[in-house]
Structure 1
Amino acid sequence: MSSVREWPETERPRERLIKYGAEALSDAQLLAIVLRTGSNGKSVMDTAIELLQNFGGLRGLEEASIAELKKFKGLGTAKIAQIRASFELGKRALSQKANQQVFSSASTVYDCFFPKLEGLKKEVFITLLLDTKLKLIKEVKVSEGTLNQSLIHPREVFKEAVKESAYAVILVHNHPSGDPSPSEQDIEITKKLKKASEILEIPILDHVIIGRERYFSMKEKGIL
């Protein structure tokens, strides 16, 4: 396979990005820009394509451990660092975007938090503390692991909300299975927290469960 430098300029990933914008490039082309050079006699495009195929796409590549990445021939410390750094930058950019959002719908919650929660192997329960304009004051991780009522106690959920004088909160957690449908435990916990919120006068606007490429809103479904 010829070097990318020998390709017509209109076909080179970096030149295409500058001319047409990043959104016009395929996953493999974007990854090729991150990798910069090929390996084992292969062009950077071939390396990028092979990586995506090996790990099942971008999601699999992001979830791969450093040990798993090291097993890929031609992927040294520098390239692994470049890949991990690019994913982390994307997450941080979305996190900063969340600080500017108005959380008036479950879809907004999903758009801002699925990159952080979707695909995790453990359940993570977080509380979004909102001001009167429904903008984020603070994001609080309440628990990590299988949800149960002993972990998701009203005291832990609302402690920071009271401290920060939050106007309202939104509950968010993920389902590692990818299916966002609520369990009986999810519904019981939500109803218990709703009673506490009424006493504290800090309303729960929604409880959004994030799955793989979709979400479940307890408000939209009339549970909350």
Structure 2
Amino acid sequence: MKAIRDTYVGDRPREKIACKGVECLKNSELIAAIIGSGMPGRDVLQVATEIEKILNEAKGNPGYDNLLSVDGVGASKASQIVASFELVKRYMPRDAVKITKPHDILPLVDYLKVKKQEYFICVTLNGAGEVIENRVVTVGTLNHSPVHPREVFADAISDRAASVILVHNHPSGNPEPSADDIAVTERLLKSGEIVGISILDHIIIAKNGLVSLRERGYI
């Protein structure tokens, strides 16, 4: 692979964007334009090519920790890349996703199956049952993610959501609800009644499947 310093100036990623438009760049060149530089002994295009492989394997956002595994990617470059993905997610026009049954939520939260910490997610919905936003509320330890009603409903109120679906993962692989899961759900149901936002379901996802607390009769 030709090093960036040996590439004609007009063919370098950032210069190509200015002269020819961003659409002309290959994926590795786009990544190189984002991270800006390599490291001693590792050219930016070499680092970008390795990042591209990770993106292809992940089929999208590779995650901060995975990026750090690339030699030449530190906290700054990893942050730049994941921030780029998050911006696209927030601003890219998208078709409305309608939730009618528990498994409809899977495309939004399937990544939680492999997380080693417990994530608590709040999916806000409009009156038609269409997804407004999908947010991480808290990230906890191996088996616990502390959740406060204020954190769950603050953004839902800002979204003017009609309802929410709560989702959290069990890193153990077993989706069966614990006593704490049921207690948290009961507390949040009461809070939802106060603020006028209903909880349609609380779904627990794990490697071995998912459990809907609504289907179990807790909601």
- TM-score of the pair, normalised by structure 1: 0.58
The reply to whether residue 143 of structure 1 matches residue 138 of structure 2 is: yes
The answer for the alignment partner of 1:68 in structure 2 is: none
**Which of residues 87, 99, 106 is equivalent to 1:103?**
99
Aligned-residue CA RMSD (Å): 2.5
- Give the drift of 1:79: 5.9
The answer for the alignment partner of 2:173 in structure 1 is: 178
The answer for the alignment partner of 1:86 in structure 2 is: 56
- Percent identical residues: 35
Counterpart of 1:118 in 2: which secondary structure? helix
1:120-131 to 2 correspondences below 5 Å:
120-131=115-126
- TM-score of the pair, normalised by structure 2: 0.59
- Give the drift of 1:186: 0.8
- Give the drift of 1:222: 0.8
Partner letter of residue 126 of structure 2? D
Contact kept in structure 1, 2:175 and 2:208, CA below 8 Å: no
After superposition, what is the alpha-carbon deviation per residue over 1:46-103, rounded to whole angstroms, capped at 9, x for unaligned?
Answer: xxxxxxxxxxxxxxxxxxxxxxxxxxxxxx85664233111444457xx789863211
Give me the whole-angstrom Cα distance separating, in 1, the residues matched to 2:128 and 2:115: 30
Contact kept in structure 1, 2:122 and 2:136, CA below 8 Å: yes
Counterpart of 1:110 in 2: which secondary structure? helix
Aligned residues: 145
Provide structure 2 residue ranges, at least 5 long, that are not aligned to the other structure. 1-45, 62-84
Contact kept in structure 1, 2:108 and 2:134, CA below 8 Å: no
Provide structure 1 residue ranges, at least 5 long, that are not aligned to the other structure. 1-75
After superposition, what is the alpha-carbon deviation per residue over 1:26-64, rounded to whole angstroms, capped at 9, x for unaligned?
Answer: xxxxxxxxxxxxxxxxxxxxxxxxxxxxxxxxxxxxxxx
Give me the whole-angstrom Cα distance separating, in 2, the residues matched to 1:135 and 1:83: 34
Contact kept in structure 2, 1:102 and 1:135, CA below 8 Å: yes
1:166-205 to 2 correspondences below 5 Å:
166-205=161-200
The answer for the alignment partner of 1:157 in structure 2 is: 152
Give me the whole-angstrom Cα distance separating, in 2, the residues matched to 1:98 and 1:219: 28
